[in-house]
Structure 1
Amino acid sequence: MTVQPTPAPAGAAAPGPAGVRPLPRWVSVVLALISGAGLLLSFPPYGLWWLAPVCVALLAAATHRRRLRGGFGVGLIAGLVLFVPLLDWTRIAAGWLPWMLLSFAQAGYLALLGIAAAWLSPLTDRFRAAWPLLTGLLWVTQEALRDRAPFGGFPWGRLAFAQDDAPALRLAVAGGAPLVTFAVAAAGGALVALAWRSWRPRTWLPAAGFAVVLAALVAGPAFVPTARPAPATTTVAVVQGNVPRLGLDFNAQRAAVLLNHVRATERLAEDVRAGRKPQPQLVIWPENSSDIDPLRNQDAAQQIAAAASAIGVPILVGTVLRGDVPGEIRNAGILWMPVTGPDLDQVYVKRHPVPFAEYMPLRPIARLVSDKVDLVQNMVAGDHPGVVRTPAATVGDVICFEVAYDGIVRDTVTGGAQILAVQTNNATFNEAEARQQLAMVRLRAVEHGRDALMVSTVGVSAFAGTDGRVHGATGFNVDAVVLHDMHVGGPRTLATRLGHWPEVAAVALALLALAAAAPLRRRRRGGDDSAAERTTEER
């Protein structure tokens, strides 16, 4: 449907280059509401990925030619409608206040996006063909900022993470998550450029060009070749031991959780001996599978050793290591050998603890507000990438939310990782969060041309191939053991070699575009069409 903005009133000075005024305020608000809701539905567990470019287009139309504060407002509305339900799983562990604070903080970045889109309106009015490019650049820039600030950022809800079943996922092999986001947002820009006003017969050629661009962005990636899997394989088993009860109380059930994973591994060993299952070369347990520090607790060490001895291969154990300083802990993956025990040279400590959940930033200041801050332990960050060398393969280990951060995953591949492993614990969240996380794992497998896996205490655990396809996915809140032959190694993809440079280029171009729009805005305010522009700005 063509968007028909309100024409200028009779007798008014001629409007700007686009010949249109902004949409009525109420229409922009409605479009922002629909945009946020549609973006939510594009993410797992709903998976309506095709809504993402449509909703980008709706938000672009809602912000176009608005005042900057109007762009902020409609962007904030869309952001809240998206992030409040998308991040609902944080409420389970943290309560409603942190959930709301995080949701509003994330929505604020879409508000900034709305300001930037409104600022660029004179540029898109004058150069309509630039609308797809500029929309793509703004979304990549918004995500680049949100992924890093404050306190290391929180990349949840990137457009790229909604494309796990879409053709656009294949673009990750060339430019990672930023390129996927760019393609989705640019498709939205092409769509709004097509729909913003009616097309007269003499303008059919540009309209057809936008249609071709839109089709290329949406369907074209299906023809992008993904990395070929390496011929060598190794059999890997993931153990999802489950927990006695979901919720934060799982921390009080540490012994039971460890025992669940030990027994599941021992049952696997029995199945192997009976010929019911193949012998794995490596077993991987999830994050928090042993919240009891096995380097300090002899009982925990003996149980893990018994499981490793039974299966006869190394186990990558997700554990919590206690520090010498009271209250100081490390979230780690440690390789446990079947004969010699823990290999202290093959330990990965989580590099990006979650602020306000795993550590408390600005603790002295926060303590002035609430004494509850001291209930949060101090999780110390690791200082090296998660490259764990095992006899079966070199594993690129990332823990839980780290899969959302481009650089943390890439560092493992450039460090020599042949397969990717995401150890996570979803017992304090829900199935929606787990499936959103699995979508990220699928993107990383395509991006780096490495078979990947996600292993959770409660689910969803699964394997992902270099084409993004899922193998052996488990249910949620069940115990399960899954084996899969994973391809080991392979050449580095273009995305791995380029690293963050495509994102840097997009941000630089976005900043140039924002600067280029400044003289056009001044010209509008001071030119012959200033009366019409004032009327437009008042709307």
Structure 2
Amino acid sequence: MLAQHTPRWLTLLFALSGGLLTDLGFPDTGIWLAAIAGVSLLYLALSRDAPWWNFLMGFVWGVVFFLKHIGWAQYAVGNVPWAALSVLEALFVAVVALVWTFVRRVPVVVRSRTLHVSAFAVLFVGAELARSSVPFGGFPWGRIAFSQAESPIGRLAWVAGMPLVSFAAVVVAVLLALGLAGIRRLDVLTFGTTIIVAAVIVAVGLIVPLDTRSEAGTLRVGAVQGNVAKGGLDAFDIRREVLDNHVQGTHALLEQVDPGYLDIVLWPENGTDIDPQVDAAAEAAIDGAARAVDAPLLLGAQEFPDDGGRYNVALLWEAGVGVVDRYAKQHPAPFAEYIPIRDLVRPFSDAVDLVHTDMLPGTTPGIITLESPRLERDVIVGDIICFEVAYDELVRESIQAGGELLVVQTNNASFGPTNESTQQLAMTQLRAIETGRTTIQISTVGVSAVVAPNGTIIERTGLFTTEQLVADVALRTSMTPAVVLGPWPARLVMLLALGLLVLAVVRRPTRDGRPSVPRPAVRTALATESSTR
């Protein structure tokens, strides 16, 4: 649908700058409009009707974006795993660019501006969903939706989750590119209509009814960010440091509240480096902390079953009783918590052997049942561990199973002073909107935060600091449309993306060596007619 006369060097420039600009839309910079503009540049970078050149441009955009966006992986595990993951994720963008070259030639897409814009968005979001699932369970980091936590578009998560947020953002990106086309041709009508439609899409989010009121009382929550002395993979090398820091942080809560005031105290993932179920000293320290505040602790630990492997678990600990409920992380991170195809990967990086014992997946939804004497009932706490916050179905399942608030327990120590934790916090904000639940992110080293059901950060900590949070949080039981719809928005996008691919194969127009010529109203800024054809 675009002319082939755009210079290759210019499309390459668009791809390079677009990848960098898109990353600026995510924390720590967090200029949400920059992510949209970066996708606009990707669209412009695909302006030549040359399938494999467009594949290359999509790959360049993807590599530049992911190398920058997940730079924290380089800090944590080194150059080879960081580069390999970036290249893998970039290939999904490259495939979008290749398929788009054929899809836009389909006559019905050529004739309709609406279909043209929607088709690009469907393919882009379809690729996001695909890479969130494969290989090895996928890697959702860098979805455009995750850049929109502070944008009106982000509020659409309440309606249909992350697929709708990404789709709306990409539609706006394409419309901005088409508006640029109007400026170049001095086409005031095209410029005006596309910009107005883009603005309306952004503004629609403002009318989404995000209710923050309590529906089932409030829960008095304390949260402990214990900190460790250093970041990186060896952050926990000092035995008991992280455990002792969180025990001390729990006692420090008594500077803000009296014993018995809190309904629950939250520790992060790996809040103890020693399993209190098998170590008497760890048991005594944790039980003493729970007695001191006179409240149950939800703490992160690891279990090592006798038959091998390990579990990343959240344990609800009552003083004098011990573990009364448990959740095991369902989605261990490949190449970080377990190593698939270990023997094949080892020749490329010996970092695989830093994971000595592979983590096993849990099999039940993330919920913890908390007995609350003050409320005179059981409270269902939705619980997500670390990277699980990026996976739509895991968050949704914990709410469908009855979660009245959402807790994200995470350990960000391995990533040092990078923006990994703030990227994760943006996801937490969007999950609060999507589920309509107060959401608490509690980290070993930060950033920790209490997030209202409308995505607003009520309170937050710093990075690599020792801090405690105390908050009365709203408990809610109603289901948002996004939770009710479940996986269907994602399934619809994937079905439409597959349909576009089939349509491109079976309905390719007869060509004479040139691309189909679109109506002037839908050309990009660089898709001008050549007077020398």
TM over 0.5: yes
Q: Secondary structure at the match of 1:249?
A: coil
Q: Secondary structure at the match of 2:257?
A: helix
Q: Using the TM superposition, give the Cα deviation of residue 335 of structure 1 relative to its aligned residue in structure 2, in angstroms.
A: 0.2
The one-letter amino acid paired with 1:54 is: A
Residue 391 of structure 2 aligns with which residue? 405
Q: Using the TM superposition, give the Cα deviation of residue 219 of structure 1 relative to its aligned residue in structure 2, in angstroms.
A: 2.5
Q: Structure 2 residue aligned with 1:286, among 268, 278, 282? A: 268
Matches within 5 A, 1:78-477: 78-123=61-106, 124-196=109-181, 207-231=191-215, 232-273=217-258, 279-326=261-308, 328-343=309-324, 346-366=325-345, 373-376=352-355, 377-392=357-372, 393-429=379-415, 430-477=417-464
Relative to 1, partners in 2 of residues 1:213 and 1:96: Cα closer, same or farther, differing over 3 Å? same
Relative to 1, partners in 2 of residues 1:467 and 1:270: Cα closer, same or farther, differing over 3 Å? closer
The one-letter amino acid paired with 2:172 is: A
Q: Using the TM superposition, give the Cα deviation of residue 372 of structure 1 relative to its aligned residue in structure 2, in angstroms.
A: 6.1
Residue 35 of structure 1 aligns with which residue? 18
Q: Using the TM superposition, give the Cα deviation of residue 374 of structure 1 relative to its aligned residue in structure 2, in angstroms.
A: 4.4
Cα distance in 2, alignment partners of residues 283 and 489 from structure 1: 19
Cα distance in 1, alignment partners of residues 513 and 71 from structure 2: 47
Partner deviation per Cα, 1:395-433 (whole Å, 9 max, x = no partner):
111110000000011110001100000000111113400
Cα distance in 2, alignment partners of residues 73 and 369 from structure 1: 24
Q: Using the TM superposition, give the Cα deviation of residue 74 of structure 1 relative to its aligned residue in structure 2, in angstroms.
A: 0.6
Partner deviation per Cα, 1:164-191 (whole Å, 9 max, x = no partner):
1111111000010110000000101212
Q: Using the TM superposition, give the Cα deviation of residue 230 of structure 1 relative to its aligned residue in structure 2, in angstroms.
A: 2.2
Determine whether 1:60 maps to 2:43: yes
Cα distance in 2, alignment partners of residues 63 and 99 from structure 1: 26
Cα distance in 2, alignment partners of residues 146 and 158 from structure 1: 10
Which sections of structure 1, spanning at least 5 residues, go unmatched?
1-16
Cα distance in 1, alignment partners of residues 124 and 515 from structure 2: 33
The higher relative CO (CA closer than 8 Å, separation ≥ 6) is in 2
Contact 1:60 1:117 in 2 (8 A): no
Relative to 1, partners in 2 of residues 1:364 and 1:252: Cα closer, same or farther, differing over 3 Å? same
Higher mean displacement: 482-491 or 227-236 = 227-236
Partner deviation per Cα, 1:339-396 (whole Å, 9 max, x = no partner):
31211xx101111111111111123544677776444221111011111011243111
Contact 1:282 1:313 in 2 (8 A): yes
Q: Using the TM superposition, give the Cα deviation of residue 223 of structure 1 relative to its aligned residue in structure 2, in angstroms.
A: 2.0
Partner deviation per Cα, 1:28-74 (whole Å, 9 max, x = no partner):
00011111011010000000101122221111121134311111111
How many residues are paired up? 510
Q: Secondary structure at the match of 2:270?
A: coil
Cα distance in 1, alignment partners of residues 253 and 359 from structure 2: 33
Cα distance in 1, alignment partners of residues 183 and 111 from structure 2: 16
Relative to 1, partners in 2 of residues 1:60 and 1:296: Cα closer, same or farther, differing over 3 Å? same
Cα distance in 1, alignment partners of residues 269 and 70 from structure 2: 21
Cα distance in 2, alignment partners of residues 420 and 102 from structure 1: 29
Q: Using the TM superposition, give the Cα deviation of residue 198 of structure 1 relative to its aligned residue in structure 2, in angstroms.
A: 5.8
Cα distance in 2, alignment partners of residues 132 and 113 from structure 1: 14
Cα distance in 2, alignment partners of residues 166 and 527 from structure 1: 40
Cα distance in 1, alignment partners of residues 41 and 63 from structure 2: 15
Q: Secondary structure at the match of 1:450?
A: coil
Q: Secondary structure at the match of 1:423?
A: strand
Contact 2:447 2:462 in 1 (8 A): yes
The one-letter amino acid paired with 2:19 is: G
Q: Secondary structure at the match of 1:496?
A: helix
Q: Secondary structure at the match of 1:455?
A: strand
Relative to 1, partners in 2 of residues 1:134 and 1:305: Cα closer, same or farther, differing over 3 Å? same
The one-letter amino acid paired with 2:200 is: A
Which sections of structure 2, spanning at least 5 residues, go unmatched?
373-378, 518-528
Cα distance in 2, alignment partners of residues 375 and 433 from structure 1: 20
Give the TM-score normalised by the residue count of structure 1: 0.89
Q: Secondary structure at the match of 2:298?
A: strand
Q: Secondary structure at the match of 1:524?
A: coil
Q: Secondary structure at the match of 2:116?
A: helix
Q: Using the TM superposition, give the Cα deviation of residue 502 of structure 1 relative to its aligned residue in structure 2, in angstroms.
A: 0.8
Contact 1:61 1:196 in 2 (8 A): no
Cα distance in 2, alignment partners of residues 422 and 384 from structure 1: 16
Relative to 1, partners in 2 of residues 1:196 and 1:170: Cα closer, same or farther, differing over 3 Å? same
Q: Using the TM superposition, give the Cα deviation of residue 235 of structure 1 relative to its aligned residue in structure 2, in angstroms.
A: 1.2
> Identity over aligned residues, as a percent?
38
Higher mean displacement: 148-157 or 186-195 = 186-195
Higher mean displacement: 430-439 or 417-426 = 430-439
Q: Secondary structure at the match of 2:464?
A: coil
Q: Secondary structure at the match of 1:35?
A: helix
Q: Using the TM superposition, give the Cα deviation of residue 209 of structure 1 relative to its aligned residue in structure 2, in angstroms.
A: 3.3
Cα distance in 2, alignment partners of residues 66 and 200 from structure 1: 20
Cα distance in 1, alignment partners of residues 184 and 335 from structure 2: 52
Cα distance in 1, alignment partners of residues 13 and 120 from structure 2: 20
Higher mean displacement: 418-427 or 518-527 = 518-527
The one-letter amino acid paired with 2:67 is: V
Cα distance in 2, alignment partners of residues 85 and 200 from structure 1: 35
Cα distance in 1, alignment partners of residues 269 and 225 from structure 2: 10
Relative to 1, partners in 2 of residues 1:363 and 1:208: Cα closer, same or farther, differing over 3 Å? same
Cα distance in 2, alignment partners of residues 471 and 68 from structure 1: 48
Q: Secondary structure at the match of 1:485?
A: strand
Higher mean displacement: 82-91 or 203-212 = 203-212
